[in-house]
Amino acid sequence: MDEDTIEKYREAGRIAKEAREKGLDLLEPGVAFTKIVETVEGHIREEGAKPAFPVNISVDDVAAHYTPSIHDDATLGEDDVVNIDVGVQVDGYIGDTAATVDLSAEHDELVKASEEALQNALDIIEPGLNVGRIGEVIQDTIEGYGFKPIRNLSGHGVEQYVQHAGNSIPNIVTDTEETLKAGQAIAIEPFATTGAGEVKNGKEGNIYRLENDRVRGRMERKVLGEIKNEFRTLPFAARWITGIPRPRVETTVSKLVRAGNLHAYDVLKDKEGGMVSQAEHTVLVLDDPIVTTR
């Protein structure tokens, strides 16, 4: 990994951290989801970077993949356990980070469990480490608190313009030959839950990704052109599309999903409806590892 690349990862990480903290400061009962995403994504753009994906806001049993739609009027409730997951790209180099706030004051330990699991995992990162060891440390830490790690969600490599690249970084004990390579960038993201420890798909969560760009229809072509230029293959939200009149954005996006041009992500929820917390940082695997989002 050359100095220039490291510098871009550091820059993306710094902005992601600031944006995450701005978002966390807003989390209180009654605040609108749209206000959270506008503030967080606004900060990223003000800093001259771009979101690598729409800010994910996950409440209670939701683990990931929900972002407000254009006309979303959802607000946070009094007892919500809410996690925000923020991604920033600088020339395609990504910082990916998440944290959870418990507004109920009844799930402090659940929040601590994922944070401590993340810290313990970061402490052992070095080139050559078997990735199964990361899962083991995460599982041990979360189970030590009496909760379950979510087994079918994992951390991942990141590469330029690729949000999920290379090996997955398990959140449970895993028998694998895979090791960390010097010069790799990875995101580590333990999820802790009071529920099943396994997520299932829910309804669509307003997050999309380009699948193929062969399309008919003027509006559809225009939107797809914008998506290719602005987001490439990174996930995006309909509220980011500016090239056609606003009232037509969501119907056009729906058409593109039905035609197979766009993939629509489903919300992921704990199978038993347990509360979920998540903590995440991006780290450059070097002899002296760099946690870019801390």
Question: Applying CB under 5 A, which residues contact Mn ion?
Answer: 85, 96, 98, 187, 189, 280
Quick one: 98 or 117, whose CB is closer to Mn ion?
Answer: 98
Is 173:143 a contact under the CB 8 Å cutoff? no
CB contact set of 254 (below 8 Å; sequence gap of 6+): none
Can you tell me the distance from the alpha carbon of 114 to that of 145, in angstroms, rounded to the nearest whole number?
10
Nearer to Mn ion, 63 or 275 (CB): 63
96 is an active site residue:
yes
Considering the complex, state which of residue 137 and residue 279 has its C-beta at the smaller distance from Mn ion. Answer: 279
Is residue 281 flagged as an active site residue? no
What element of type H or E holds 251? helix 246-258
Residue 2 annotated in active site = no
CB of 204 to Mn ion, least distance (A): 19
Supply the minimum distance, in Å, between the C-beta of residue 187 and Mn ion. Answer: 4
Residue 164 annotated among the catalytic residues of the structure: yes
Annotated catalytic residue, options 38, 47, 164, 272: 164
Q: Which is nearer to Mn ion, 157 or 274 (CB)?
A: 157
Q: Is 156 assigned a catalytic role? A: yes
Residue type, 244: I
Are the CB atoms for 82 and 59 separated by under 8 Å?
A: yes
Q: Catalytic pick from 18, 80, 115, 280?
A: 280
* Known active-site residue 85: yes
CB of 97 to Mn ion, least distance (A): 7
In the sheet with 184-188, reading across from the earlier edge strand, the strands are 162-169, 155-159, 184-188, 281-285, 290-291
- The amino acid occupying position 137 is V
